Amino acid sequence: MFHKEGHKIIFVTFVIVVASFLLVDSFITIFWLRTLALIALLVLLILILQFFRNPKRHTVSNDKQVIAPVDGKVVVIEEVFEKEYFKDKRLQVSVFMSPLNVHVTRYPVNGNVIFSKYHPGKYLVAWHPKASEENERTTVVIENEIYGKVLYRQIAGALAKRIVNYAKQNHKAEQGADAGFIKFGSRVDLFLPLDTHIKVSLNQKVRGGETIIAEM
């Protein structure tokens, strides 16, 4: 199953790969060089298919918990001052996605979307300290009746070319449901209340829609 954001890219890549296969097979007569070129084209197609895969996840809805919005590795757990929306101290948990991870963004909590904003910006590497404030990004705040307000931020990285955000103000967010996609990129930050009990550790691998990040 592939994410809808990848359908066009997958189709174009497939056409290019098939056409290239025919050209290589017709015009390159050296066996080892032809074989190498065909393998490279096949690898390219496999990588594109893998990047846009959209596996089903089994989310157990719980208003007292925040689940991972994306697949990846936890790279930040710290108390910070959130400047854009809360303008106070929050617990930040950041998940970094490698090109091999699933790049679907999922809603971390149930609730109402009360804030959604896109920011154009730079394309610093995702682990850069200023990436959260200077890179292309979207900020979304969801208000949950039990948990309160949870902010998540999609952040583009050095390879990212487009952030897709489905969360619109006044929309209903369903925990674990598809909230967007980051094409060829790279990190999502969560900003949580200070009294949150964090359930993950640094460098832990998490699965979007399933791993519990925090709970009240």
Just list the catalytic residues. 186
Burial class (CB in 10 A: 0-12, 13-18, 19+), 34: middle
Single-letter amino acid code for the residue at 86: F
Residue 216 to residue 150: CA distance in whole angstroms:
12
Q: Supply the DSSP string of the chain, one letter for each residue.
A: -B-GGGHHHHHHHHHHHHHHHHHHHHH---HHHHHHHHHHHHHHHHHHHHHTB---------TTEEE-SSSEEEEEEEEEEETTTT-EEEEEEEEE--TTS--EEE-SS-EEEEEEEEE--B---TTSTTHHHHBSEEEEEEEETTTEEEEEEEE--SS--EEEE---TTPEE-TTSEEEEEET--EEEEEE-TT-EE---TT-EE-TTTSEEEE-
